[in-house]
Amino acid sequence: MDSEKQEFVVLAENLRRLRQARNLSQAALAEQAGLSRVGYRNIETGRAIPKADTFARLASALGVGLDDLVRPVRRLSSVRFRARKKLASREALLADVGKWIDDYVFIEELCRDAAPFKFEDVAKKLRRYRRSDDLPARAARLARDAILNQQETIRDISGLLEDNGIKVFTPQIASDQFFGLSVASQDGGPAIVVNTWERITVERWIFTAAHELGHLLLHQDAYDVQRTEESEAEEREADQFASHFLMPDEVFQKEWNEAKGLASIDAVFKLKSIFRVSWKTVVYRLASERDDPRRVWAQFYSGYKRRYGKSLKAAEEPNGLIPGDFQSPSPALRIAEEPEHLGASVFQEDRLSRLVRQAVDQDLISLSRAAEVLGLSTVEMRQLANSWLE
């Protein structure tokens, strides 16, 4: 295929991907760009060559730059990407992740500041372990031993992961069916992507980051972008890993023993606050260590109902529909009312921003390139640069 034909194939693929990510029909996009439906269809199928002004109108209608229409998208392969339901924006998200990883690696190489993957020895060791019920807890202990001691609580999981060689990407995907994914080293990772949509609690963001770390360490042979079905066994192991990584055994038992005299609801909320996790994570951990886990859940729910005069159902955490929010035929989802939920500043990735500032300060990249890497407009990038303290 000659280069001109290849360019039109890339254009057609990008148009289809971007249009579908925005839930637009061909007719709707054609109308927004001032084209006939047939005319647009011929461009998206590669049968027609758009004029320069048509390019500009299509880019404007899609809310992207001209480069986004003609730039080839790197196809990731070593990805673990599962969702409860089919995600319409899956292809677009993978394209964004691929571009973000390429930009991240570019900045690291430019600044000669690539963070080594501190969990590599843990990953190698776990490859030799046999599957067992206690493997997730053992993996969590090994992971902590590599970067922390067993007594520390994690105050900034995003920064912790970045400091130890894992790239963290935090897009906002308007979906309550997708929380995160991870990318293996073969594709420029290891990287963890966390959906930080405002209607998902910060506690869930934190748990997702730990959950995906569990996949990176425990399920190294599961990184195939073609696999889309959930594995209940793998999900359960990643949940168990996250629980033990965020709440190490010794500290968890110590704090629980000290809180035993409190009402169950107060004890759970106390541990939730200490470890910065969801109330569900705490109750899940308590239940998993008891002979009758259902009784633990029942006690917590009954305690909550007595305290607040209403039932706290499982569906309310993390993305449940809230009674009274049905204001249209398509009821709006809102952030789950996680008791005492944390603020968004608790979960912020910052290593890439630091590297970009270093590159700008050393005149290695322009402000416009910095804006592109950070996903900001030129105006936003200037405002950010002006806010940097000396």
Do 37 and 88 lie in one domain? The reply is no
- CA nearest neighbour of 118 among 154, 181, 163, 159: 163
pTM for this prediction:
0.81
Per-residue pLDDT at 314 exceeds 70: no
Region 157-162: mean pLDDT is 92
In a domain, 58, yes or no: yes
pLDDT of residue 1: 46
Out of 1-15, 32-46, 76-90, 102-116, pick the least confident: 1-15
Which of these three, 23, 49, 70, is where a domain ends? 70
318 in Cβ contact with 194 (< 8 Å): no
In a domain, 325, yes or no: no
Characterize 327-364 residue by residue with b for buried, 16 or more Cβ atoms within 10 angstroms of its Cβ, and e for exposed.
eeeeeebebbebbebbeeebbebebbbebbbbbbeeee
Per-residue pLDDT at 164 exceeds 50: yes
Region 310-315: mean pLDDT is 68
In a domain, 337, yes or no: no
Which of these three, 315, 341, 362, is where a domain ends? 315
In a domain, 328, yes or no: no
Per-residue pLDDT at 32 exceeds 70: yes
Total tally of structural domains belonging to the chain = 3
pLDDT band per the 50, 70, 90 thresholds, residue 243: very high
Per-residue pLDDT of 58-95, as tens digits, reads 888 888 888 888 888 788 899 998 766 667 678 888 98
Out of 1-5, 97-101, 259-263, pick the least confident: 1-5
Beta-carbon contacts of 218 under 8 Å, excluding residues fewer than 6 positions away, are 126, 135, 136, 139, 234, 237, 238, 241
Q: Which tokens in the block code for residue 346?
A: 């608790």
Do 114 and 7 lie in one domain? The reply is no
Region 162-171: mean pLDDT is 94
Q: Which tokens in the block code for residue 370?
A: 């910095």
Do 83 and 64 lie in one domain? The reply is no
Region 37-52: mean pLDDT is 85
Do 244 and 379 lie in one domain? The reply is no
Do 89 and 64 lie in one domain? The reply is no
pLDDT of residue 246: 96
Which of these three, 37, 70, 103, is where a domain ends? 70
In a domain, 324, yes or no: no
In a domain, 145, yes or no: yes
Cα separation, 160 vs 53, in Å, equals: 47
pLDDT of residue 136: 95
Region 171-189: mean pLDDT is 90
In a domain, 11, yes or no: yes
Do 63 and 86 lie in one domain? The reply is no
Do 65 and 86 lie in one domain? The reply is no
Do 38 and 88 lie in one domain? The reply is no
Do 31 and 84 lie in one domain? The reply is no
In a domain, 326, yes or no: no
Please report, for the domain that includes residue 57, its CATH number. Answer: 1.10.260.40
Residue 65 is given by DSSP the state -
Do 17 and 157 lie in one domain? The reply is no
Do 270 and 357 lie in one domain? The reply is no
Domain limits for position 47: 3-70
Report CA Rg, the chain: 23
pLDDT of residue 339: 55
Do 195 and 60 lie in one domain? The reply is no
